[in-house]
Amino acid sequence: MADLSQQEWTEQLKADDNAVVLDVRTQAEVDEGMIPNAIHIDIYKGQGFVDEIEELDKTKNYYVYCRSGNRSGQACNIMNQLDFENAYNLEGGFNEWQGDVVHND
Protein backbone atom coordinates (compact mmCIF):
# COMPACT_ATOMS: atom_id res chain seq x y z
CA MET A 1 0.00 0.00 0.00
CA ALA A 2 1.14 3.51 -0.72
CA ASP A 3 -0.27 6.74 0.68
CA LEU A 4 -0.33 9.29 -2.11
CA SER A 5 -0.96 13.01 -1.83
CA GLN A 6 -3.91 14.40 -3.76
CA GLN A 7 -1.54 15.57 -6.52
CA GLU A 8 0.43 12.29 -6.68
CA TRP A 9 -2.76 10.23 -6.74
CA THR A 10 -4.31 12.35 -9.50
CA GLU A 11 -1.18 12.41 -11.67
CA GLN A 12 -0.48 8.71 -11.26
CA LEU A 13 -4.13 7.86 -11.98
CA LYS A 14 -4.15 9.92 -15.19
CA ALA A 15 -1.05 8.13 -16.46
CA ASP A 16 -2.25 4.63 -15.51
CA ASP A 17 -4.13 2.70 -18.20
CA ASN A 18 -4.64 -0.22 -15.81
CA ALA A 19 -6.37 1.83 -13.10
CA VAL A 20 -9.55 1.24 -11.14
CA VAL A 21 -10.90 3.91 -8.76
CA LEU A 22 -12.51 2.40 -5.67
CA ASP A 23 -14.81 4.33 -3.32
CA VAL A 24 -15.14 2.62 0.08
CA ARG A 25 -17.53 5.13 1.69
CA THR A 26 -21.11 4.55 2.77
CA GLN A 27 -24.00 4.88 0.31
CA ALA A 28 -25.09 8.11 2.02
CA GLU A 29 -21.64 9.59 1.41
CA VAL A 30 -21.61 8.41 -2.20
CA ASP A 31 -24.99 10.08 -2.71
CA GLU A 32 -23.27 13.42 -2.01
CA GLY A 33 -20.99 12.87 -5.02
CA MET A 34 -18.11 10.66 -6.07
CA ILE A 35 -14.99 10.71 -8.22
CA PRO A 36 -15.92 9.90 -11.85
CA ASN A 37 -15.80 6.25 -12.93
CA ALA A 38 -15.31 4.97 -9.38
CA ILE A 39 -16.73 1.66 -8.30
CA HIS A 40 -18.37 1.62 -4.88
CA ILE A 41 -17.82 -1.06 -2.25
CA ASP A 42 -18.67 0.03 1.31
CA ILE A 43 -15.92 -1.02 3.74
CA TYR A 44 -18.51 -1.14 6.55
CA LYS A 45 -20.03 -4.23 4.91
CA GLY A 46 -17.42 -6.26 6.79
CA GLN A 47 -17.21 -9.75 5.28
CA GLY A 48 -19.36 -8.53 2.40
CA PHE A 49 -16.64 -6.00 1.60
CA VAL A 50 -14.00 -8.76 1.56
CA ASP A 51 -16.21 -10.96 -0.63
CA GLU A 52 -16.75 -8.18 -3.18
CA ILE A 53 -13.06 -7.20 -3.17
CA GLU A 54 -12.10 -10.84 -3.82
CA GLU A 55 -14.11 -10.70 -7.07
CA LEU A 56 -12.00 -7.84 -8.45
CA ASP A 57 -9.16 -8.30 -10.94
CA LYS A 58 -5.94 -8.46 -8.91
CA THR A 59 -3.82 -7.44 -11.90
CA LYS A 60 -5.33 -3.93 -11.89
CA ASN A 61 -4.00 -0.91 -9.98
CA TYR A 62 -6.51 0.32 -7.41
CA TYR A 63 -6.85 3.97 -6.41
CA VAL A 64 -8.82 3.87 -3.18
CA TYR A 65 -10.54 6.71 -1.37
CA CYS A 66 -12.98 7.43 1.45
CA ARG A 67 -13.99 10.67 3.14
CA SER A 68 -10.71 11.46 4.92
CA GLY A 69 -8.20 8.72 4.07
CA ASN A 70 -8.61 6.45 7.12
CA ARG A 71 -11.03 3.83 5.81
CA SER A 72 -9.33 3.77 2.42
CA GLY A 73 -6.04 3.05 4.19
CA GLN A 74 -7.69 0.13 5.96
CA ALA A 75 -9.14 -1.02 2.63
CA CYS A 76 -5.69 -0.92 1.02
CA ASN A 77 -4.28 -3.02 3.86
CA ILE A 78 -7.08 -5.58 3.42
CA MET A 79 -6.45 -5.65 -0.32
CA ASN A 80 -2.72 -6.22 0.24
CA GLN A 81 -3.55 -9.15 2.53
CA LEU A 82 -5.73 -10.55 -0.27
CA ASP A 83 -2.75 -10.43 -2.67
CA PHE A 84 -3.57 -7.24 -4.52
CA GLU A 85 -0.17 -5.82 -5.43
CA ASN A 86 -1.10 -2.23 -6.15
CA ALA A 87 -3.51 -0.32 -3.91
CA TYR A 88 -3.02 3.42 -3.52
CA ASN A 89 -4.62 5.39 -0.70
CA LEU A 90 -5.76 8.97 -1.33
CA GLU A 91 -4.46 11.09 1.56
CA GLY A 92 -7.12 13.52 2.76
CA GLY A 93 -9.80 11.59 0.91
CA PHE A 94 -12.85 13.05 -0.77
CA ASN A 95 -12.87 15.95 1.72
CA GLU A 96 -9.79 17.42 0.02
CA TRP A 97 -10.57 16.28 -3.53
CA GLN A 98 -10.27 19.14 -6.04
CA GLY A 99 -11.02 17.16 -9.19
CA ASP A 100 -14.25 16.33 -10.96
CA VAL A 101 -17.24 15.03 -9.01
CA VAL A 102 -20.25 13.17 -10.36
CA HIS A 103 -23.64 12.83 -8.75
CA ASN A 104 -25.79 9.78 -9.29
CA ASP A 105 -29.34 10.98 -9.64
Q: What is the pLDDT of residues 14-62, one digit of tens each?
A: 999 999 999 999 999 999 999 999 999 999 999 999 999 999 999 999 9
Give the pLDDT confidence of 61-92 residue by residue, as tens digits.
999 999 999 999 999 999 999 999 999 999 99
Q: Is residue 17 part of a domain?
A: yes
**Run of H or E including 31:** none
Among 45, 101, 92, 54, which Cα is nearest to 72's?
Answer: 92
CATH classification of the domain holding 85: 3.40.250.10
* Domain span holding position 39: 2-96
Of the residues 13, 43, 66, 75, which is catalytic? 66
Q: Is residue 82 part of a domain?
A: yes
Distances (CA, A) of 62 to 28, 80, 89: 22, 11, 9
Q: Is residue 103 part of a domain?
A: no
Q: What is the pLDDT of residue 105?
A: 61
Q: Is residue 104 part of a domain?
A: no
Total count of domains within the chain: 1
Active site residue 66: yes
Its pTM stands at: 0.96
43 vs 74: CA distance, rounded Å? 9
With 80 as the cut, is the pLDDT of residue 1 above it? no
Q: Is residue 101 part of a domain?
A: no
Q: Is residue 105 part of a domain?
A: no
